[in-house]
Structure formats: structure tokens, C-alpha cells
Amino acid sequence: MPSSQATGGYIFGDDGTNPDDIGLSGEGAVEGVKFARSLKALFPLNTADINNNVISGLFQEGRAAAMIEGTWQMANLRKAGVDFGVVQLPLLPNGEHPQSLISVRSLFVNSYTKYPNAAKLFAELATSRDNAKLRYEMTAQLPTRRDLVSDPAIMADPNVSSFLAQLQNATPLPVIPETSALWVPSYAALSVIWNDDRADIKKTLDNMANQMRTAMKTSG
């Protein structure tokens, strides 16, 4: 959660590499989640009644003024003919920038392929400058190649500049296998906190962290 990470919370310690150090229930994380729950006064819906598709639909219908999304949503909005703009996430009450998570889509070639030369050529084609630029043009998703970051055709889009600005205040999603233990417990915990004003934030987050530890032991 952006507000949680901006107040000292984190998923795993040591820059996301230490699954034994879960930082989602400490004092900083609690403070960030407390602020997030305060926003329910502006958006009084339960999590069961809302999801990304609903939010996107409301936005496209002009019934939602804003939504927090990634670059992947731009192509959908353009296809729907929506006049939209992208801005960096606003500052939190403590004056800090919200820390969004960064994830990068990757392509993998199976090392056991019977056609290693063809696989190598495909990998080179798929990650080439021309293909990365074409993918951006088709999907509006930012390319990961450094030599395209300053491409005039890409930088001419003001929405790209806004995403790049937010990128300066973002944290990479941990790439260790244990990250898979994050999603179900965190969604359940944040749903409880959002839906029930009486829920104790600290206890709920502690329970979430324990569920993550259990899931990691089970899968490990």
C-alpha cells in the first residue's frame, strides 16, 4: 500500500530479499494503513462491492473523478475514447510521497528447448529496441529499455512524464518466491480494516504477517 510504505512500512527487509523480516505490521505500517482507512469517509463502499473492473467502469462512465492505476490502463482508456490525464500521487499528510510498487513484465525462454538458436533469436527480437517501442505504441506500457526512456516520440506524451515522476518514489516489488505469500493475507487484512471501523489495525496486520509466515513455511 503506497501510504504504508511512505510511513516506514515494507514488505520484506534488506531491499525485499529477506522474507524473515516482514515489515507490514510495524509502527510505520500501522500509521500508513490508519490514514488509508480514513479515506473511507470519502468513498464509503465495502470491498465486496468494488474491484478494479468496477472502478475502471465508473471512471470510463464519468462517475469516478480519479483512480490509481498503472500504464497498462492507458490503452483501455484510449480505446474507450476517454479524455484523461495522469498525475503523480499526491503528498501524504506527513509531507512524504506515496511509495507505489514497481513490477516489470518479463519474457523467459525455456533452457530445455530443442531449438536453442531459434529461442535465442526470439529472445533478441522480443527485447529489441524496435519491438519494445512497438509494444509501447500498442499497449501504452512503458518500455524497460534505457535507450527508449528519452525517445522523443515517447516523452512527447505528458502522461509518460507523470508515470516517470512517480517512478522516482516507488519501490520494486520483491522478486523472491516468498512474495506469493503476500497477496491473499494482505487483501483479507486490508478488507477487514477498511470494512470494519472497529477492527484493531495493529492486531489485524500482525495476524496478516503471521499468515504470511505460515504460508511461506507451507510452500517452502
Please give the single-letter amino acid code of residue 74.
M
Using pLDDT thresholds of 50, 70 and 90, give the confidence band for residue 201: very high
Q: How far is CA 103 from CA 28, 98, 113, 131, 190, in A?
A: 23, 16, 27, 20, 21
Q: pLDDT tens for residues 13-28?
A: 999 999 999 999 999 9
pLDDT of residue 6: 83
Is the Cβ–Cβ distance between 164 and 158 less than 8 Å?
no
Compute the distance between CA of residue 100 and CA of residue 172 in angstroms, rounded to an integer: 9
Is residue 30's pLDDT more than 90? yes
Distances (CA, A) of 79 to 66, 74, 193: 18, 9, 36
3-state SS assignment for residue 12:
strand
Give the pairing type, strands 10-12 and 18-23.
Answer: antiparallel
Amino acid at 79: K
* Residue 29: other Cβ atoms inside 10 A: 26
Question: Does domain 2-219 fall into CATH 3.30.70.660?
Answer: no
pTM: 0.84
Q: Does the pLDDT at position 12 exceed 80? A: yes
* pLDDT tens per residue, range 135-164: 999 888 888 888 998 899 888 899 999 998
In this prediction, residue 200 carries a pLDDT of 98
